[in-house]
Structure 1
Amino acid sequence: MSAYRVASALAPTDLKLAGNEGIGPDPALLQELVAEGTEVLRCYPSNTALQRAIARWLELDPEQVLLTAGGDEGLDRICRWALRQGGHAILPWPGFEMTRRYLDLTTAEVERVAWTEHRLPIEAMLAAVRPETRLVVVTSPNNPTGGTATAEDLQRLREAAPQAVLLVDLAYAEFAKADLTAAALSLPRTIVVRTFSKAWGLAGCRVGYLLGQPEDIAALAAVGGPYPVAGPSLALAQKRLAEGQATMRAAVAATRLRRDQLFAQLQVLGWKPRPSEANFVCCEPPDPLEARDRLAGMGIAVRAWPDQQGLQSLLRIGCPTDDAGQQRLLRALRIVAQPEALLFDMDGVLADVSQSYRRCVIETARSYGVQVDTETIQAAKERGGLNNDWVLTQALLAEQGIERSLEEVTQRFEEIYQGSPEAPGLRRTESLIGGAETRARLQRLAARFPLAIVTGRPRADALRFLREEQIADAFRCVVALEDAPNKPQPDPLLRARDELGVERAWMIGDTVDDITAARAAGCLPIGFRAPAEALLRAGAACVLNCLSEVEARLT
């Protein structure tokens, strides 16, 4: 067994929707921790106060409550306790990955029952019960699908397997239409798992709790450490429970509304969302891994399971915790799934400039007595901020102690690039990458989407290349050096989008600056041909090698 790891995209993200964290508490809660003083750090913690507070809230005896290090530790305790002598366990699947991992660490035979619809597969679970069944797992709402069980389901399972422990994981209960806690606790040999991580917004504190009959809770206390939750976490959770119930309920109501909006958006996109009663929506896009990476390109982290059996077709999207995040998510979904336009960088994407611009950098530097190679140029491009080759050349000279004005460097560069009647310039070495095939592909794309060029070239050079390569008619607009601040600023992409009259666009570029500009402009950044890792770490959704791959992703 390998360690738990979330498979994530390389692109950096700042809107974290992969972990289902809830809306956080008021920052003033941290001041309460300061008021506790250093004794909360110095002393071993006591669970008693929070245990009693939870019992009062749920109208239980304190001996029916056991605090754990998040719901995860509670699941671990239950699996080890119920299956300490092996036996047989029933696990609806897909389900929570950590439950599956804890079960696999026991000697029990684990039987997975397919959970494909919203409702718990109760008939299949009942059919799976054997005399040696020692544990039956029910997660409601289910993670990662959002499906649910009913009180009747629990009753039927309890009657069918009276010898087994019934594990009822209610980590997302606050978001559901019905809270099954009371129904579960009315049944013998039934343990409920709850948490402060989701609706209460304290995932970082790692505070969970188990509920059950006193004799079962006492047995579970014996199979773990005496201090499962740190003192600061206990203090924060107790204060949150005492003063935060109204804000928690308001946060749950807001989350339910955002969940419904998200579900509706996914339906429009054809991503096959599943009904959910949690704080996330699970869906089945055409390619979940690609969908995850595209959203990462927009700075949004969601969850896919490329290596998990039974989960490869799923994508789980957590609900944002505020309205700004919600609008950003809904807009990003439309951009990644339904682009209205395509924006192309020119050099390195359409124009082969390996023997023109790159060579001009080398020759201009050589004219000042500085040796530069293509690897040095590529490394500088990958650092970002040097999209303009005149500026790049000046910077490479400065690194070697040669300080020259940009005007002087530009003039010498242009003499080499443009040439003269006596000495043809290096610009004449340029050609259309892919030749006739690219020309035809651009025409097909132009028939479906408005296309634009967004380049750091002077306008005259850009238009000349388009004319000479017979692709000018494929592009409705050209945004060049003179038209806006250069990439990595978003301005040229925003201008292109405005000129095309669209809101949703993909940007195809081969430099870090292209990717940075695309993300800042709210366009999907598609890397092209350059060393993939640098572009992915800069924020590209993917890195493609030819225009046919772009076209394939638009089908």
Structure 2
Amino acid sequence: MAAMSTRGDLHDLRHHGDVEMRDGAEGLIDLAVNVRTGTPPEWLRARIADSLCGLAAYPDGRAARAAVAARHGLPVERVLLTAGAAEAFVLLARALPVKRPVIVHPQFTEPESALRDAGHSVRRVLLGVADGFVLDPGAVPEDADLVMIGNPTNPTSVLHPADAIAKLARPGRTLVVDEAFMDAVPGEPEALAGRTDVPGLVVLRSLTKTWGLAGLRIGYVLAEPETVAALGRAQPLWPVSTPALAAAEACMSPDALAEAERAACRTAVERAHLLAGLAEFEEIRTVEAARGPFVLAHMTRADAVRARLRTLGFATRRGDTFPGLDTDWLRLAVRDRTTTNRFLQALDQSLTAVGC
């Protein structure tokens, strides 16, 4: 069953996977950051490079905004371009009249950080491992006027049914769904992006993960025009750079969407291989319903295993900074089969070394 919590002092909400790849990480294979390897592709690099000729002019987001709207079958008034999903979290926390926010955990911690930084008291709904971290809409308090959930959820990789999430909608409530990893799911079967029949719905998307653009900062919000206008008024002038706008427009093309779908299908195959390999270890339990480009794994002394893996050349994401998890969890990015096989060998050695 899901549990309620109001405590916010037990986890490092600002810790993210990139920390694992900073100082002293030279030569490590990155299983900590959920960005697709081999990205951005050459054609996208070229589009970004071409945009540099226009840097003397102020950014004009109209074409990119129209491209995003067309991709989701929405009017442009329902689209707001942002400097990554992280900016959207800050805008939601500061621009909307929120009084009783609730975060469904475990999930990406920046939404809660943004709310707390804006002075809000945040309640947590903690999904349980016994239930496979699956959403129970009835666990969310009725008086919540803002609810945030990821789909598929980082770090559990669980893909919640769109209908279950839609049941969270209420008059006077803003329902925020972080779909940063949805384009990594073949066919996007549970996507709410493009839906206009769910009151108060706000969907966040990012180009970071599939296209390898973490350093460019580009994402977008899909919401009711009134919400888009309110968030837009809180943005500074020209919040998204010209190169980021060029990338956004390019990634909405039919060819780009087809490439993303092929990548999602490859990821699904490689994820199945990783899960099968992990299932060979008696010491490890995984969230088998994983649908994202990462897997959540439980093992005794995972913190020690993670440290040992670093000595063997692999960086993994610690789980204890996510509310609802502890030091016995690791998040593992899905990689190609060769990398996964090498990782499984290193994991075997690490488990033996720490006495699991």
Q: Give the TM-score of the pair, scaled to structure 2.
A: 0.85
Q: Which runs of structure 2 are paired with 1:215-230 in the superposition (5 Å)? A: 215-230=226-241
Give the corresponding residue for 2:280: 268
CA positional deviation for 1:198: 1.6
Residue aligning to 2:14: 4
Letter in 2 for 1:103: L
Determine which of 47, 55, 70 is the counterpart of 1:56.
Answer: 70
Aligned to 1:156: 167
Pair 1:241–1:201, CA change in 2 (3 A): farther
Deviation at 1:332, TM superposition (A): 2.5
Q: Is the 8 A contact 2:135 2:160 kept in 1?
A: yes
Contact between 1:67 and 1:209, CA under 8 Å: does it hold in 2? yes
* Change in CA separation of 1:27 and 1:121 when aligned onto 2, cut-off 3 Å: same
The CA distance in 1 between the partners of 2:290 and 2:308, in whole Å, is 23
The one of the two structures with greater contact order (alpha-carbon pairs below 8 A, sep at least 6) is 2
Decide whether aligned partners of structure 1 residues 107 and 28 sit closer, same or farther in structure 2, where only a CA change above 3 A counts. Answer: closer
Checking the alignment, whether the CA contact within 8 Å between 2:107 and 2:322 is kept in structure 1 is no
Q: Distance in 2 between matches of 1:107 and 1:34?
A: 40
Q: CA deviation at 1:199?
A: 2.3
Within-5 A mapping of 1:225-264: 225-242=236-253, 243-264=255-276
Q: Could you tell me how far 1:187 is from its partner in structure 2?
A: 1.0
**SS of equivalent residue, structure 2 residue 215:** helix
Whether the 8 Å contact between 1:154 and 1:184 is mirrored in structure 2 is no
Q: Could you list the runs of 5+ residues in structure 1 that have no partner in the other structure?
A: 339-549
Larger radius of gyration: 1
Aligned match of 2:297 = 283
Whole-angstrom CA distance in 1 between matches of 2:80 and 2:223: 9
The whole-number CA distance in structure 1 between the counterparts of 2:106 and 2:248 is 30
Alpha-carbon spacing, 1:262–1:233, altered in 2? closer, same or farther (3 Å): same
Q: Distance in 2 between the 1:18 and 1:170 partners? A: 19
User: Aligned residue for 2:36?
Assistant: 22
CA distance 1:326–1:81, shift in 2 (3 Å): same
> Does 2:91 align with 1:77?
yes
Distance 1:292 1:271 in 2: 13
Amino acid at match of 1:53: A
Query: Shift of the alpha carbon at 1:290?
Result: 1.4
SS in 1 for 2:167: helix
> What amino acid does structure 2 have at the position aligned with 1:171?
A
1:435-450 aligned within 5 A: none
Query: Is 1:554 aligned to 2:355, yes or no?
Result: yes
Distance in 1 separating the partners of 2:237 and 2:256: 27
CA distance in 2, matches of 1:182, 1:224: 22
> 2:194, 2:213 → 1: CA distance?
26
Q: Which amino acid aligns with 1:121?
A: D
Task: Provide the rounded CA distance (Å) in 2 between the counterparts of 1:114 and 1:73.
Answer: 25
Question: How far 1:282 moved relative to its partner?
Answer: 0.6
C-alpha displacement of 1:220: 1.1
Count of aligned pairs: 332
For 1:181, what is the secondary structure of its paired residue? coil
Structure 2 counterpart SS, 1:315: strand
Q: Could you tell me how far 1:303 is from its partner in structure 2?
A: 0.5
- Superposed, 1:394-543 pairs within 5 Å as none
For the residues of structure 2 that align with 1:199 and 1:179, how far apart are their CA atoms?
18
Are the equivalent residues in 1 in contact too, given 2:51–2:242 (CA < 8 A)?
no
Counterparts of 1:8 and 1:198 in 2: how far apart (Å)? 17
Which of 324, 345, 356 is 2:338 aligned to? 324
Amino acid at match of 1:118: F
2:127–2:324 CA contact under 8 A, matched in 1: no
Instruction: Indicate which of 321, 345, 350 corresponds to 1:336.
Output: 350
The equivalent residue for 1:292 is 306
Structure 2's unaligned 5+ residue stretches are 1-8
- Residue in 2 that maps onto 1:174: 183
| TM-score, normalization by structure 1 | 0.56
Q: Describe the SS at the equivalent of 1:316.
A: strand
What are the within-5 Å matches in structure 2 for residues 129-208 of structure 1? 129-130=142-143, 133-158=144-169, 161-176=170-185, 178-182=189-193, 184-208=195-219
Residues 13, 301 of structure 1: 8 Å contact kept: no
Q: Is the 8 A contact 1:151 1:184 kept in 2?
A: no
Matched, 1:38 2:49: no
- Answering whether residue 134 of structure 2 is matched by residue 119 of structure 1, we say yes
Give the AA of the match of 1:179.
E
How far does the alpha carbon of each residue in 1:169-197 deviate from its partner, in whole angstroms, 9 at most, with x for none? 11111233623225753212111001111
Encode CA deviations 1:232-267: one digit per residue, 9 max, x unaligned: 122123223324222211111111111111122222
**8 Å CA contact 1:165, 1:189 repeated in 2:** yes
Most deviating of 174-183 and 260-269: 174-183
8-17 or 71-80: bigger deviation: 8-17
Contact 1:185 1:211 in 2 (8 A): no
**CA-atom RMSD in angstroms:** 2.4
